Amino acid sequence: MNALSFIPLLLALILSPLLFGVINRTKALFAGRRGQPLLQTYFDLWKLLQKGAVYSRTTTWIFRAGPIIGLAATLTAAALMPLGNFPSLIAFPADFLLFVGLLGLVRFFTVVAALDTGSSFEGMGASREVFFSALTEPALFIALATLARQTGQLSLSTIFAASSDAHWPHFEPVLALTAIALMVVLLAENARIPVDDPNTHLELTMIHEVMVLDHSGPDFAFIIYTSALKLWMLGALVLGVMIPSSGGNPWLNLAMALGGMFGLAVIIGVVESVMARLRLLIVPQLLVGAGAVATVALILTLR
Amino acid sequence: MTLLLFAMAILPLGAVVVLLSSRSDRNLSWFGAGSVVIAAVLGCIPAVQVLLGGAAVQLRFPWSMPFGEFFIELDPLSAWFLLPTLLLSALSAVYGVGYMRTWQGRRSLGPSWFFYCLLVLGMMLVLLARNAVLFLIAWELMALASFFLVTFEHERESVREAGWIYLVATHLGTAFLLAFFLLLARETGSMDFTVWAAKGVQAHELAGILFLLAVVGFGTKAGFMPFHVWLPEAHPAAPSHVSALMSGVMIKTGIYGLLRAFTFLGAPPLWWGWVLIGIGLTSGVLGVLFALAQHDLKRLLAYHSVENIGIIALGLGVGLLGVSTSSPVLIVLGFGGALLHVVNHALFKGLLFLGAGAVLHGTGTREIDHLGGLLKRMPWTAVTFLIGAVAISGLPPLNGFVSEFLIFLGAFKGGISTGGAIAVPLFALIAGLALIGGLAVACFTKAFGIVFLGEPRSERVLHAHEVDWTMRLPMLILAAGCVLIGLFAPVVVGSLKTVLKSVTGLQPEIVTENLATAMNPLSFVVIGAVAFLMLLALLVLLRRDLLARRRVETDVTWGCGYVQPTARMQYTASSFAQPLTDLFRPLLGTKKKVTLPSGIFPPEAALKTMTPDVSHEEMYRPMFSRVNEWLSQLRWLQHGNVQLYVLYIAATLIVLLVWKFR
Amino acid sequence: MKHEALLWLLILVPAVTGALALLLRSARTILGTMCAGVGISVALGWYVAGKVLVSGPVSAGAEWLYLDALSAYNLGVMLLIYGLSSAYAWVYFGTELREEHLTLKQARLFASLWCGALAAMTLVFISNNLGIMWVGIEATTLLTGFLICVHVTGESLEAMWKYILICSVGVAFAFMGTLLVGASTHGLGLRAPEVLLWTTLHAHAASLNPACLKAAFIFLLVGYGTKAGLAPMHNWLPDAHSQAPAPVSAIFSGFMLNTALYCVMRYVPIVEAGTGNTGWGLRLLIGFGLISILVAAAFILFQHDLKRLLAYHSVEHIGIITLGVGLGGLGTFAALFHTLNHSLCKTLAFFAAGRLGQMFGTHNMTKLAGAMRVAPVWGVGLFGSLLALIGLAPFALFMSELQILKAAMDSGAILVLVLFLFGAGVVFVGALGHAIPLVWGKTTATVQPARAGVLETLLVVLPLVLLLVLGLWMPGPFQTALNAAADVIRHVNPVSAVSLGGVTP
Amino acid sequence: MTDLILVLVMLTNLKLLASSELGASIRVVAVQGVMLGLLPVLAHVHDLSLHFAALAVGTIALKGAVFPWLLFRALREAEVTREVEPYVGYITSILVGLAALAASFWLGGRLPVSTVGASSLLTPSALFSILAGLFLIVARKRAVNQVLGFLVMENGIYTFGVGIVAEMPFLVELGVLLDAFVAVFVMGIAVYHINREFDHIETNRLDRLKG
């Protein structure tokens, strides 16, 4: 790894909260409002870090550990995610296994922490969380397998380098399908519409938000930052497939990637403005559908 | 080798002494456990030596028994299985001392410890025997001893039922093994494993038959679906330290047998790999799904054994595909992953069963929905159980991740480079293993979260107590094992070299170079893990620093506006798992009994779910009753009428005469 | 010559004891004398048998009495069982005397018939003349007939009647068979006294008339098979075993069945040689063996009465032995080994059933539930013997069945192997299903736990230990003895001790 | 001469199958016994030895006198109607008997056992007696009848024995006779007991033990 391979990590750390700002702005525009400042998430984080905390008597150290483990794991994962064709800080064959594993760890402790409160609402959220993620996992893996087989590479960095080069013209259907699947995974994993509505006000309909109801102060800050990073990383994954970057100038390339990233945020915003959350019973079909799409792509690579 | 003999001599001696000592003897348990521990220590030394590249040691005594010979050998494969076996035997024994204290005085513990020692002896002999007769005797000894351990609480109907199912299953499995061994013996004209390995089987269809016999025979012990029916019955019925031993290592003797069998059967055709991957996926996915649907903590764990055996089978399948396509990387990663998972599963499943035992010991119930909030009352048990839960979910940085990483890596490496015949099963494996992982997380967040977190769901929990050190220590050691293997993954994987060499018969350097393809990624994984832990520490400090200057209050859980939350309002295990069990209802056949609230002031509302084992209900029960009906047709033979009886005799005579003289 | 005298003594001692029993005036002394008499004949018998097994056959009375490895081995086992059962009878009827269930008259009847039966069975084993052998079998039938109804009840009478009638018919066939064998010697110019001598026939086997021999063997097989309890001629067996007093049942399935089977074994080599070693007779044996195993398996599934269950187990195991003999070679060896194992095991099982029956006052298994708690010693005995009976290692029956399976596999009789495994599997499932609640179930009857005396404990421990030892270690001399005995039956392709693997004795 | 006796034996068998009255059956069996007693004497009329003489006397005494007496006694104690109580009607029985006769000749033809001097009817009639005896046991309800059936079987076997009597050691013969005697004796006692216990001797009603 060279100095450049710090770039994806640094960008993720610095810019990821901005994505929420962009998304909210987009939604505000669609709603015809001015909306909150782009940097709102940063302000929130700062504010929360200054605050004290309230803990439920029911809870134990698990509840306090949840956000910390979550953030630590996500930060580690961030070191594994390249951007454009800048390789990630830590890149090795099958590094995506560790990446997915760390996300799993985050989920495990978020869920456990939610259950620690003994609140039925958070239990419900936890239940849905594991339900949906259990279904997204195969889709994600099949997509990764497709990319790996298509490019003959086993590390995210090399996969991106390979897939975003001259390959597009040859096997765009494969990449397109994979991208779609990954996009659904992204929406599901980050609790965005149409899977989950981040800013609903009825706990019964929430998934991710309801799990963190009882967190406050720095813990909540960690949680927000965690989800921002998560969004960024999965976004990077989708972009890695979609952005056809001329292998030439890496900086141009990076610029495209960043543009893509915020474009993605805009798209999410648009999606959230134009469609409503799916009924919970429909969501599994969406996720399984994503898996199916990914499988089709995989089969195409097997020709 | 002499050490091994000593170990094997101590066990029966200890057993007999324990059996003969008076039932009121308080040190009886210590004596039984002690002899197991000593035997384990003695046995581990040679095993380690062999694994560190020492030469395999043989020992043959004449044994006055037709076709029998007391021929034992400690080669790397045996050693690899022997090590966890002895370790877990010793730890469970120590745990058992505390666990069995409940029955002290009410019940003579002599027999229990007697059979415990015999079980350990049986497992050792199974792993070491190189003569078919000796192997079978040891195999049956193992089954019989564990049967008596399972039926320790035989005054309970359910336990007796479980014992019956267990012994029947394992014995029918043995029937297939008999056919397997005798067929081999007929082909090679010997009962000697070394001869079998040397000669191998030439005829292909014969090898196929043998393979299937072995899969059924050994698979029954290992718990492959659909031969797994005895696990969910026997494991909950047995005392917890026994469940730990059985689920942790005893079922692995089935895997060992399978691996040993592969060394006899010559070059495998592709379909063997497909069969194993198929079995692995079925066992893995269905195992974890059934686990998700259980309310009984130990039953849940039992189904997870099925799941993990499935994962091991996947590894073996990858390895076999590698052998039949002679691609060393698949061989090494597949078999390596399987072998490593054997050890890992022994550690975390042992740990989890001991934890479940501690919960049972402390609260007197295995019903997940009656528990809750135990973390405050049983901190040690809780922490170790959590470690086990994370490990079995295959999450970094613990050991479960490492072995699954190997299998995944193998599948990916094979998948990206090969043609459909191999790539398709491998990709199926990847998708399946991913699904298994996701479901496992669901299942163990449920198990840990509902049992140890939240508020107590029944007054049973209120006077729960932490277990004493004899039970705590083993759990701690096992938990430490899970962490260490996770953090020293490359080293551990490196130690696979000798055993892989002896299983696959590849050149050492080939093994080494292919192991390297797994070892340097793993070293990065370790770097990641370390980074993670350091960040963790940093964040802890940061948080403490932030909160130091701020107000930190405690209050009731936010009830979304509801002011008087009670423990009974909490989410239960059934409701937690409900979305998934609903989705997979077709596979699970979960039965639901709902009493919806009705009226303005609903008097009652209830939800009962139960998930009986499908293959037990749909396959074996009908099969048995069919055979039963079919055979009861013969009842009229014994009609009670003497004239009829004489008629049979006359008829027999006449028929024979006519048949032979026509 | 000393052995001659001994051979005569072997019959005389029990006969005299039986007569003596009729004269004595106290039930206790009668039982005592009986045990003493049996004890003496056991000592004598083992001595002679040992001599024969070590140093070849002995004969007496102008070749009419003859003891070779086969008969010596069977005699030895029979005496072992008889000894154990007599000791047990002392315990069993001792209890009945204490509870005044046994009158002096019944005691006399029992003791004299018991010794008579011993004499008759001994006669079967030591007679070289096949006619006399037949007489012995018929005698056992008639003598043991009354043993079934020592206590006269409706059921016991019914059982006795069926037993007497069916077995007489069967044994009559056996006599027809014997005559046919005699008839097959036409043209050899044998003199009357030696025409039915086994040794003679065995010597001239090859030149006997095959057609006659075949007919003879069919008659013999059906006839003696009836007495041995081979399906479908076994129907008398469950009734008799369930109704007879426990010691008698023990002897019945412990060795009377084997005695009849022994007679068949005697003819096997003659018939084989006479039919040109085509395995004509052996195939018949295999057939009967398998049928017995399967029929027994079917009936074991739905038994309610413990002693009937055990009776069907006898049918199964006699079937297994027959199957082994039919397979020849290693099978014969294993069959003889199985004979000992089964007898030991089944005797113990009947002992336990009997004592438990006395305590609970029933043999109904649902009422016997929880036997282990009421009578630990006998509970252990029952459970141990049942587990051994269904073929669990490390008991000896596992080894012998394994060897029979191997014989089947090596001779390529896959179908036999599969059917045997199927039958054994069904038996295992069924019998275990009965056994577990039987020993551990919820006790329904109100029976006060009974302490078992030293003798009783010994009666339980001894067979179990023997079964365990034989299951884990077959002494070299014993192995040679078995081989010698087996070679009497299979003079075709004898399996030498060496090819058995293990140590060469 | 022998042939005549053998034919008579066959006829007696048929008569037995047809006879509806116990007493009559017993007498018929007695007659059959006497004839069989004479058989060896006539077969070896020219070389008559002590062996045969003794055998003949013994046989006639037992089969002709002792057995009938025992059976009549049992019958008297049983104090029952002397009706035979068949499963199978008499006409049918006769037909079955004839079929059995045919079968016996068929099988007898395939067993080359007839000795020099002995009649060729020997084996068939022996087999016929055996089958007839079996049929009596199976197709009649009364215990006494089954004893009779057993006796007829024994007679059949004896007939066959005569065929090769030259090779049969005397001792064996004796033992056999003795056994037959004891058998009938035992059965007699059994019948007596059964009758006292159940006050009937219809063995088809002895079916408590089953399954």
Residues B131-189 pLDDT 10s: 999 999 999 999 999 999 999 988 889 999 999 999 999 999 999 999 999 999 998 88
- Same-domain pairing of C463 and C428: yes
Hey, what are A219's tokens?
Answer: 């813990």
pLDDT higher than 70, residue C493: no
Residues C464-485 pLDDT 10s: 999 999 999 999 899 999 999 9
Q: Which of D130, B450, A189, A293 is nearest to C177 (CA)?
A: D130
D with C: touching (≥3 Cβ pairs within 8 Å): yes
pLDDT of residue C42: 95
Q: Where among C100, C128, C156 does a domain terminate?
A: C128
Number of structural domains found in chain A: 1
Q: Other C-beta atoms within 10 Å of D12: how many?
A: 23
Instruction: Give the C:D interface size as CB pairs under 8 Å.
Output: 134
| CB within 8 Å: B438 and A136 | yes
In-domain check, residue C283: no
Number of structural domains found in chain C: 3
**Between residues B636 and B18, the one the model is more confident about:** B18
In-domain check, residue B652: yes
**Cβ–Cβ contact B405 with A under 8 A:** yes
The DSSP-derived string for B568-615 is GGSPPHHHHHHHHHHHTHHHH--EEEEE---SSS----EEEEE---HI
Give dist(CA D1, CA D41) in Å, integer.
11
**Cβ–Cβ contact B639 with D under 8 A:** yes
Range scoring the smallest mean pLDDT among A21-30, A263-272, B21-30, B653-662: B21-30
Q: Which of D85, D105, D130, D137 is most worth mutating to test chain B (most B CB atoms within 10 A of its CB)?
A: D137
In-domain check, residue C286: no
Hey, what are B37's tokens?
Answer: 């521990």
Give per-10-residue mean pLDDT for chain A (303 aa): 80 93 92 90 93 89 94 94 86 92 95 90 90 92 91 87 66 85 92 81 77 89 94 91 70 85 93 86 90 92 81
**Cβ–Cβ contact B469 with A under 8 A:** no
- Same-domain pairing of C79 and C135: no
CB-CB contact of B370 with B297 (8 Å): no
Give dist(CA B357, CA B370) in Å, integer.
15
pLDDT of residue B443: 94
pLDDT higher than 60, residue D90: yes
**Cβ–Cβ contact B164 with C under 8 A:** yes
Residues B117-144 pLDDT 10s: 999 999 999 999 999 999 999 999 999 9
Number of structural domains found in chain B: 1
- Same-domain pairing of C254 and C315: no
Segments forming the whole domain that contains residue B652:
614-661
pLDDT of residue A171: 67
Nearest-CA distance A263 → chain B (Å): 30
- Same-domain pairing of C73 and C167: no
Contacts with B632 from chain C: Cβ below 8 Å: 298, 301-302
Residues C353-403 pLDDT 10s: 999 998 888 888 888 888 888 888 999 999 999 999 999 888 999 999 999
pLDDT higher than 60, residue C497: no
Q: Which of D110, D111, D134, D150 is most worth mutating to test chain B (most B CB atoms within 10 A of its CB)?
A: D134
In-domain check, residue C409: yes
Length of chain A: 303
Partners of chain A (3+ Cβ pairs below 8 A):
B
Segments forming the whole domain that contains residue A109:
3-302
Contacts with B415 from chain A: Cβ below 8 Å: 145, 148-149
Give dist(CA C45, CA C79) in Å, integer.
7
Q: For residue D95, what are the β-bridge partners?
A: none
Phi, psi of B34 (to 5 degrees): -55, -50
Hey, what are B122's tokens?
Answer: 């049986």
**Which of C302, C405, C479 has the CB atom closest to B64's CB atom?**
C479
| CB within 8 Å: D157 and C182 | no
User: What's the CA dihedral at C308, C314, C319, C324 to 10 degrees?
Assistant: 160
Determine the residue of chain C that is closest to D144 in CA distance.
C165
HSE toward the beta carbon, residue B90, CA cutoff 13 A:
19
CB-CB contact of B293 with B581 (8 Å): yes
- Same-domain pairing of C256 and C144: yes
| CB within 8 Å: D206 and B642 | yes
- The mean predicted confidence, pLDDT, of chain B is 90
Range scoring the smallest mean pLDDT among B196-210, B401-415, B519-533, D78-92: D78-92
Measured in Å, how far apart are chain B's first and last C-alpha atoms?
A: 66
pTM to 2 decimal places:
0.93
The bridge status of strand A53-56 relative to strand B552-555 is: parallel
In-domain check, residue C231: yes
Q: Other C-beta atoms within 10 Å of C61: how many?
A: 14
pLDDT higher than 50, residue C146: yes
pLDDT higher than 90, residue B302: yes
Phi, psi of A235 (to 5 degrees): -60, -45
CB-CB contact of C181 with C270 (8 Å): yes
- Same-domain pairing of C230 and C245: yes
D66 secondary structure, DSSP code? I
Give dist(CA B2, CA B4) in Å, integer.
5
In-domain check, residue B651: yes
**Cβ–Cβ contact D11 with B under 8 A:** no
In-domain check, residue C165: yes
Q: Which of B220, B200, B64 is nearest to B133 (CA)?
A: B64
Q: For residue A76, what are the β-bridge partners?
A: none
Segments forming the whole domain that contains residue C167:
131-278
Give dist(CA C200, CA C208) in Å, integer.
11
Phi, psi of B72 (to 5 degrees): -120, 150
| CB within 8 Å: A218 and B390 | no
**Which of C169, C437, C503 has the CB atom closest to B62's CB atom?**
C503
| CB within 8 Å: D193 and C169 | no
Chain C, 296-325: which have a CB under 8 Å from a chain D CB? 299, 302-304, 308
**Which of C403, C432, C471 has the CB atom closest to B164's CB atom?**
C432
CB-CB contact of B451 with B359 (8 Å): yes
Question: Helix, strand, coil shares of chain B as percentages rounded to 5?
Answer: 75, 5, 20
The predicted model gives B410-439 an average pLDDT of: 90
Determine the residue of chain D that is closest to C214 in CA distance.
D111
CB-CB contact of B360 with B465 (8 Å): no
pLDDT of residue B559: 74
- Same-domain pairing of C201 and C98: no
pLDDT higher than 50, residue C496: no
pLDDT of residue B563: 65
The b/e string for D38-62 (b: 16+ C-beta within 10 A; e otherwise) is ebbbbbbeeeeeebbeebbebbbbb
A with D: touching (≥3 Cβ pairs within 8 Å): no
pLDDT of residue D197: 77
In-domain check, residue B157: no
In-domain check, residue B558: no
| CB within 8 Å: D150 and C172 | yes
Instruction: Give the A:B interface size as CB pairs under 8 Å.
Output: 250
pLDDT of residue B231: 93
Nearest-CA distance B525 → chain A (Å): 7
Q: Is C341 left (phi over 0), alpha (psi -120 to 50) or beta?
A: alpha
**Which of C218, C298, C437 has the CB atom closest to B660's CB atom?**
C218
Nearest-CA distance D140 → chain B (Å): 8
Q: Where among C278, C311, C337 does a domain terminate?
A: C278
Range scoring the smallest mean pLDDT among A198-202, B634-638, C132-136: A198-202
CB-CB contact of D115 with C186 (8 Å): yes
